[in-house]
Structure 1
Amino acid sequence: MALPSPSAVKEPDPRWRLYHRSQDAWQAMEADCAAARISIECEMYIFENDALGRRFLRLFWRKAGEGVAVRLLFDSIGSWNIRRSLRLKVLRRRGVSVAFFNPVNGWRALRPASLLPRTHAKVMLIDSRLLHIGGVCIDGRMRRWRDTHIRVLGKVAAEAAASLDHLWRRFIGIPVSRPVENREPLRPEGFRFATSLAGTRKNLIYREVVRHVRGAKVRVRLMTPYFIPGRMLFRLIKQQARRGIQVELIVSEASDVRLADWVALSYFPSLVRAGVHVYRYLPSVMHAKVVMVDDDWATLGSMNLDHLSLFRNREANLLITDRAAVGTLNAQFDADLAQCRLATARELLAVPPLQRLVGRIGRGFKGFL
């Protein structure tokens, strides 16, 4: 029997749309960039120098030639392969602003402390009124990964624009002036743009996750590629499960970071003993970063449930109280469960001793995972 498509759930509201495969999100971003009339802005952790990345760069070059303001901010480590691309020089000559977050050059690369923070955000903003945000990078190897990405019109896009302006002023040192459309944007209720502050422990997204998980009445659902939580969140998840809250966690059967998988595995026996249902996603890498509480709150974006995302990097998420959007995310979670296997206590006890040892030792380096 054919399993349900990760993009099978339909949205009821034309002002927003969810995507659950990377390739579907790329198509939507590309179409919206092609239709841009005022500006295109991109903040991206991984923008790869592959066929997909070059296709987007050609599109940016063409739109800049049409008079569209284009501003690109890439992470200097995540987007390492594109840093010296001649295509960026061509873009700059056409007036495109290109910058790299926290550049790592020369002797700085030998000092681990200089490698952080990173911008781990995945944001595309069109004409200051249409926002793309989620876990999707511009990297062709992620084509078939299971991810979560949303396209939304309205006030939340203006919030993202203000955040990007602040980022360019503070970290890049470039003042900005933003062209604004004359039209009043659509203003859907129920969406809020939120970021963590790179290099600080002031993570609004994390605080909101903790607050809502603590206040859960019926159910908590979590999706993350890498589960290496802070001590407080780890204890809270187990505490809620023991109280009778239904707690479900979906992670990859195998992510793209083997060490992170083994460290995550070291947390699972304690979760299962507490009553948390831990599911391993089978078809592909599970790269979605989503938390849902009951039927009325969710967050999605770039924030993994790991130390780098929770405490070190700049992350960008949407906080969602739109019940239709939360319902759609829950329906997709149900579809994903059909493609998972439940981790059992017996299975976790059978993990090879070396793998368990590496996972436990790896916790000592969780600040870099």
Structure 2
Amino acid sequence: MRLPRFSLRRLLTRVTTAVLAVQGLTLAALLLIDQRRKRLRAPARFPKVQPATIPVGDGDLTVFTYGQDLYDDMLQGIRAARRRIVLVTFIWKGDRTGRAFKKALIEAADRGVEVCLVYDEFANLVVPRPFFHFPPHVNVVRHPLVWGGLGMLNPRNLGRNHNKLMVVDSEQAWVGGYNIGSLYATDWRDTHVRLTGHVVADLEDAFIDHWNELPGRHPALPDVSTRSWHSPVRVVRNLPRRALYPIRGMYLEAIDRAYHHILLTHAYFIPDDDLIRALTAAAQRGVEVKLIVPGQSNHITADWLSRGFYSQLLAGGVRLFLYQGAMVHAKTATIDGTWSTIGTANLDRLSLAGNYELNVELTEPAVARKLEEVFAMDLTNCAELTLEEWVRRPMMVKFSETVLRPYRRFL
């Protein structure tokens, strides 16, 4: 009897096909679970604090932790604008809140204010295109899916514009994690800040640099010429077109300096090996490391990819807290009562090595104290996850995490 010839290529093809099939089924099951979960989700409930203003350098900083408070403040800024408004947002929903912003911006342009707007095309694919039709005297530019021509072959041209920034009259700037939409106004826990002083020029310059690089016919904006070298607030921005990603380095340097405590709140926590090592090394040298992440986020796949790191973190001494009853979308950190950052960047590959991002970095103890107060408030709405509890999770959960492990490099 003749035996069939062994084919390594055929074996590899079958194994690859089987692995992809299992991964596909796992992802499909997660998406079905997520759809059912969203249908049955109860109204969001979470603790809130009133906006608080803190003197910083030659200006001040106001911390917002509730979306409606932030939107009311931003709309007030738009309605009081006299010269120019620049605004960039990742997501801009066409709902009641989104329409309120659109109306206020058009009214500002009607009274002679220069209005320049940027939104990310990919993030708003589900928003009806007519919503982004503005009168001709409002300057609107889409950050495209891919910058055209041969540029589409360059990975530097694939970065999404994940920034959320508004500057009014070169005097006030708002930056942080909030997109624009009614869901975020009441149902999400996020963090945003309003800033005044010299740092506003740096934030406006970040908008102008990107605006002037974007393809399409729109008026160029002049460079900001009143920036200062001396400020306790520094603007740190990722620029994919220039292959610059300093936010990751900012985090690693700050974690490496820590000697007492590290408090992190992040919506999507899918760190690379260096971040894992930095956090666990800090814990092992006696630093108290606490991390708040969503118990259930709006992206179930991101949740499961994040869980793949829990064993390393918990075994390394990091304390992990799962936010309950609402989506926590903040991207904040504070260390040793001195250093803090607030901004748009998540601790995942998309933010740290892919997207346009914008964070403010502060060495101001008063800001650190305020963020510590916010962190303490959020902890009252968290359940701590222990290593003993985590190792007892069902075998099927462990299997699913292993199956999805290869996707970490993409998120």
TM, length-normalised to structure 1: 0.90
Correspondent of 1:52 among 97, 107, 111: 97
Distance (Å, rounded) in 2 between the aligned partners of 1:25 and 1:98: 23
Q: Which residue of 1 aligns with 2:31?
A: none
Correspondence 1:67 to 2:109:
no
Moved more, 76-85 or 119-128: 76-85
The answer to whether the 8 A contact 1:200-1:312 is kept is: no
Deviations 1:222-257 (CA, angstroms, capped at 9, x unpaired) = 110111011111111111111111110000110000
Correspondent of 2:144 among 97, 102, 118: 102
Deviation at 1:10, TM superposition (A): 3.7
Moved more, 193-202 or 262-271: 193-202
Q: Which residue of 1 aligns with 2:220?
A: 176
Deviation at 1:326, TM superposition (A): 1.4
Distance (Å, rounded) in 1 between the aligned partners of 2:138 and 2:271: 38
Distance (Å, rounded) in 2 between the aligned partners of 1:172 and 1:238: 43
Structure 1 pair 203–187 and aligned structure 2 pair: CA distance change class (3 A): closer
Q: Which residue of 1 aligns with 2:122?
A: 77
Moved more, 160-169 or 309-318: 160-169
CA-atom RMSD in angstroms: 2.9
Q: Which amino acid aligns with 2:295?
A: E
The answer to whether the 8 A contact 1:9-1:331 is kept is: no
Residues 272-291 of structure 1 aligned to structure 2 (within 5 Å): 272-291=314-333
Residues 257-272 of structure 1 aligned to structure 2 (within 5 Å): 257-272=299-314
Deviation at 1:175, TM superposition (A): 5.3
The answer to whether the 8 A contact 1:216-1:293 is kept is: yes
SS of structure 1 residue aligned to 2:122: coil
Correspondence 1:220 to 2:262:
yes
Q: Which residue of 2 aligns with 1:36?
A: 81
Q: Which amino acid aligns with 1:351?
A: R
Distance (Å, rounded) in 2 between the aligned partners of 1:283 and 1:8: 20
Q: Which residue of 1 aligns with 2:367?
A: 325
Distance (Å, rounded) in 2 between the aligned partners of 1:156 and 1:51: 32
Deviation at 1:277, TM superposition (A): 0.5
Deviation at 1:128, TM superposition (A): 1.6
The answer to whether the 8 A contact 1:259-1:359 is kept is: no
Distance (Å, rounded) in 2 between the aligned partners of 1:30 and 1:175: 25
Residues 279-318 of structure 1 aligned to structure 2 (within 5 Å): 279-318=321-360
SS of structure 2 residue aligned to 1:227: coil
Structure 1 pair 164–119 and aligned structure 2 pair: CA distance change class (3 A): same
Distance (Å, rounded) in 2 between the aligned partners of 1:169 and 1:265: 40
Q: Which residue of 1 aligns with 2:198?
A: 155
Deviation at 1:113, TM superposition (A): 6.5
Deviation at 1:352, TM superposition (A): 2.8
Deviation at 1:162, TM superposition (A): 1.2
SS of structure 2 residue aligned to 1:136: coil
Distance (Å, rounded) in 2 between the aligned partners of 1:205 and 1:312: 11
Distance (Å, rounded) in 2 between the aligned partners of 1:76 and 1:12: 35
The answer to whether the 8 A contact 1:189-1:322 is kept is: no
The answer to whether the 8 A contact 2:91-2:119 is kept is: yes
Structure 1 pair 126–366 and aligned structure 2 pair: CA distance change class (3 A): same
Q: Which residue of 2 aligns with 1:134?
A: 176
Number of corresponding residues: 361
Q: Which amino acid aligns with 1:156?
A: V
Residues 338-357 of structure 1 aligned to structure 2 (within 5 Å): 338-357=380-399
Distance (Å, rounded) in 2 between the aligned partners of 1:282 and 1:107: 46
Deviation at 1:120, TM superposition (A): 0.6
Deviation at 1:278, TM superposition (A): 0.3
Structure 1 pair 253–199 and aligned structure 2 pair: CA distance change class (3 A): farther
Residues 170-249 of structure 1 aligned to structure 2 (within 5 Å): 170-172=213-215, 174=218, 176-178=220-222, 189-199=231-241, 201-249=243-291
Deviation at 1:313, TM superposition (A): 0.4
The answer to whether the 8 A contact 1:153-1:185 is kept is: no
Structure 1 pair 185–340 and aligned structure 2 pair: CA distance change class (3 A): same
Q: Which amino acid aligns with 1:176?
A: A
The answer to whether the 8 A contact 2:121-2:142 is kept is: yes
Q: Which residue of 2 aligns with 1:164?
A: 207
Structure 1 pair 112–227 and aligned structure 2 pair: CA distance change class (3 A): farther
Deviation at 1:22, TM superposition (A): 1.7
Deviations 1:115-146 (CA, angstroms, capped at 9, x unpaired) = 93101111111112211000000022222211
The answer to whether the 8 A contact 1:263-1:360 is kept is: no
TM, length-normalised to structure 2: 0.81
Correspondent of 1:254 among 296, 314, 323: 296
Deviation at 1:8, TM superposition (A): 4.6
Distance (Å, rounded) in 2 between the aligned partners of 1:256 and 1:16: 29
Structure 1 pair 354–113 and aligned structure 2 pair: CA distance change class (3 A): farther
Q: Which amino acid aligns with 1:214?
A: D
The answer to whether the 8 A contact 1:135-1:287 is kept is: yes
Q: Which residue of 2 aligns with 1:146?
A: 189
Distance (Å, rounded) in 2 between the aligned partners of 1:256 and 1:176: 37
The answer to whether the 8 A contact 1:262-1:355 is kept is: no
Correspondence 1:88 to 2:132:
yes
Deviation at 1:6, TM superposition (A): 2.5
The answer to whether the 8 A contact 1:199-1:312 is kept is: no
Q: Which amino acid aligns with 1:59?
A: A
Deviation at 1:363, TM superposition (A): 3.1
